[in-house]
Amino acid sequence: MDNYRIEHDTMGEVRVPADKYWGAQTERSYENFRIGTHRMPPEIIRAFAVLKKAAALANCRLGMIDERRAQLIGESCDEVLEGKLGGNFPLVIFQTGSGTQSNMNMNEVIANRGNEIAGEKILHPNDHVNKSQSSNDTFPTAMHIAAVVSVEDRLLPAIRALRDELKRLEDENMDIVKTGRTHLQDATPLTLGQEISGWRAMLDHDEKQIASALDSLRELALGGTAVGTGLNAHKDFGRESAAEISRLTGKKFMTAENKFHALTSKDGIVFVHGAVKALAADLLKIANDVRWLASGPRCGIGEINIPANEPGSSIMPGKVNPTQCEAMTMVCVQVMGHDTAIGVAASQGNFELNVFMPVIIYDFLESVNLLSDAMDSFRIHCVCGITPNRERIEENMEKSLMLVTALNPHIGYENAAKIAKKAHAEGTTLKEAAAALGLVTPEDFDRWVVPRDMVGTLK
């Protein structure tokens, strides 16, 4: 018994570990939901600490709690944000779908730590820390805070860093003419820089789309309390607390105009994650292009070289694999799976509340964190070391039958096709086939078929 203390809630007494700040409701959840290893993300814990401090400041300003209690709540929240109370938030994702138990976990920890600071029992988890709040409006508010902070502070910087590295490669390789490919077949020429510019532009668009979509998460449910009516909260609480959250995070937030929508709908999360999924789709395409272009080294395309980071085989000596590309593509597939889970979960709200919120935000944050890490890893360990294989590029360019496209304006599509088919069937060059068919003289062929003239204006 020395290792435990007795806490109580409306259901009775509960034994709680003596070295933890949580209370009875947290302990009940901890014991009743031993499901998996997915714990409430640290981003949500920090968001809750911001929320509770903001709520205390707003309540104090509105005359709902006294200054001393507000100060104690704020000090405890600061300790959470500083990581001093780690180990006090043990609950899993697969709990109540409203996140009530994680809301109470935070309330209990803040109250007990605040009372310890005060040297007396002055804070109650429900009456003071949860003043003017319900789990039904705090959890969606924490979701939005965590989502905005993680996207702005982690995902967007990772996109920009990778985009900038691709821009460097684009500029350095703009003059290298190579064969294009569509349908996995040879196509007309472009430059390696132009090809890379497509990758870079994908990230430009992804960044803009995600940043624009993020505005849908700046509205906060706080102030709606249980069902959106704001019962037991001051009429200005939502506005005041949103202003405090903005000040504490340095991010733009506002109180939601319609709290009924804010409690039951997760469309903002779905919308932003859709933009995140678009990023994943582009990154999967980029990683696939890189590993295709680097395939070989002797029997593949081999037009670019990528860093050799580690041995690629336990049986084949000297083999090196595109492992960063493989890691990126696995992350992208995981994000696409998250998108499905988030979309289905968001569709399952009933009446005034969605009860799939913990899994929605867990998957959202994991997508953001995985993509941020994967982009940094891909940039540092792969993209930074990409170089062109000029010899292979020139070899493939010379063999391409699609250079014949330059003859279309001079001899027509069908005659140009005859030249390409004859050259392919007989294993000759386009120039030899054109002369043999009597369709183009060698002199005209050299004037008309110039790969560098086929790539458009170089930037």
φ and ψ at 189, to 5 degrees? -70, 160
Rounded distance between C-alpha atoms, residue 258 and residue 419, angstroms:
68
Q: What is the DSSP string of 44-96?
A: HHHHHHHHHHHHHHHHHHTTSS-HHHHHHHHHHHHHHHTTTTTTS---BSSS-
234 is an active site residue: no
State the angle between helix axes of 100-118 and 67-81 in degrees (0 to 180), rounded to the nearest 10: 110
Check: CB of residue 65 under 8 Å from CB of residue 89. no
Rounded distance between C-alpha atoms, residue 153 and residue 251, angstroms:
10
Tokens matching residue 153: 């502070």
Rounded distance between C-alpha atoms, residue 181 and residue 174, angstroms:
17
Amino acid at 210: I
DSSP-based three-state secondary structure for 432: helix
Distances (CA, A) of 366 to 150, 297, 331, 339: 10, 35, 10, 11
Check: CB of residue 397 under 8 Å from CB of residue 386. no
Strand-pair partners of 387: 305
Nearest to 282 by CA among 328, 230, 316, 338: 328
Rounded distance between C-alpha atoms, residue 200 and residue 196, angstroms:
6
Q: Exactly one of 8, 205, 212, 313 is catalytic; name it.
A: 313
Q: State the sign of the Cα–Cα–Cα–Cα dihedral 410, 414, 416, 422.
A: negative
377 is an active site residue: no
Q: Exactly one of 183, 212, 216, 261 is catalytic; name it.
A: 183
Distances (CA, A) of 160 to 156, 325, 329, 375: 6, 19, 19, 10
Give the torsion through C-alpha atoms of 58, 62, 64, 70, to 10 deg.
Answer: 40
Classify residue 271 as exposed, middle or buried by CB count within 10 Å of its CB (0-12, 13-18, 19+): middle
Calculate ∠ Cα 269-104-62, nearest 5°.
85
Classify residue 404 as exposed, middle or buried by CB count within 10 Å of its CB (0-12, 13-18, 19+): buried
Residues annotated catalytic, as ranges: 183, 313
